[in-house]
Amino acid sequence: MRTIVIGDIHGCCKALLSLLDAISPGTDDLLIFLGDYVDRGPDSKGVIETLIGLTSLTKAIFLQGNHEIMFRGALSGLDAAPWLELGGRPTLTSYGGTLDRVPSQHVSFLAACQAYFETESHIFVHANYDPALPMDEQSEFALYWEHLVERFPGPHVSGKLVFCGHTPQISGLVADYGHLVCVDTFCFGTGWLTAMDVFSRQTWQVNREGHLRRQSSIWGLLGRST
């Protein structure tokens, strides 16, 4: 069984489909998605449909990102203007231009996304964490909103390796700090959508057009810059 973590998708459905094809997940694999499925990219609706369909093929954990929070707020009747300005316009377009067209199944999917996921050896979180606090005591700001450049955390008190997204690595390189690995590699921009086997560190990357990065390039990806 493989445990594979996947970074921020941001509406890049072509990238997601190609990445899943490259990974070819089996029924015993566990895929952990770090959130920010919607906004900025062209096909958030397609991304959500793909993720929902994936649950019949393999085991999957879906974390909530700050963009899911904003999308859910707009769906619940809150002022949509801030969400639209922060990347929501392409999402709205993908649903036909009105929130009334968002299927109830998609709303239920968004509501079911988790705040974090923790195993015996790893922690998975969308944005950031307070290293001194157990995960069930983390603030919402840390979990969903705080970038690594705002506050770079030390090793978690549990000693577990942490995987996160949210802070885009403009270089397109995975940022590996030893105790913390950031796999948001700027897919919606000029980078890649990244998946990594958390034990073997095998890495796959696909750009927003769905083109897989050459294997010879992947093995040199681990960087240490934000």
Give me the pLDDT at residue 214, please: 77
- Host domain of residue 21: 3-218
Q: In whole angstroms, give the CA distance from residue 24 to residue 141.
A: 34
Give me the pLDDT at residue 215, please: 61
In a domain, residue 225? The reply is no
The two tokens of residue 118 are: 């923790």
Q: In whole angstroms, give the CA distance from residue 129 to residue 108.
A: 26
- In 3D space, the residue among 12, 62, 110 whose CA is nearest the CA of residue 99 turns out to be 110
Whole-model pTM: value is 0.95
Instruction: Give me the residues of the chain with pLDDT under 50, please.
Output: 216, 218-221, 223-226
In a domain, residue 224? The reply is no
Give me the pLDDT at residue 201, please: 94
In a domain, residue 88? The reply is yes
In a domain, residue 223? The reply is no
Give me the pLDDT at residue 222, please: 52
pLDDT tens-digit series, residues 51-100: 999 999 999 999 999 999 999 999 999 999 999 999 999 999 999 999 99
Query: Which CATH number characterizes residue 158's domain?
Result: 3.60.21.10
Kind plus residue range of the DSSP H or E element containing 194 = strand 193-197
In a domain, residue 151? The reply is yes
Close Cβ partners of 124 (under 8 Å, ≥ 6 residues apart): 5, 32, 34, 61, 63, 116, 117, 118, 162, 163, 164
Burial class (CB in 10 A: 0-12, 13-18, 19+), 200: exposed
- Count up the domains in the chain and report the number: 1
CA torsion, points 25, 173, 140, 88, in degrees to nearest 10?
Answer: -80
Residue with token string 């973590």: 5
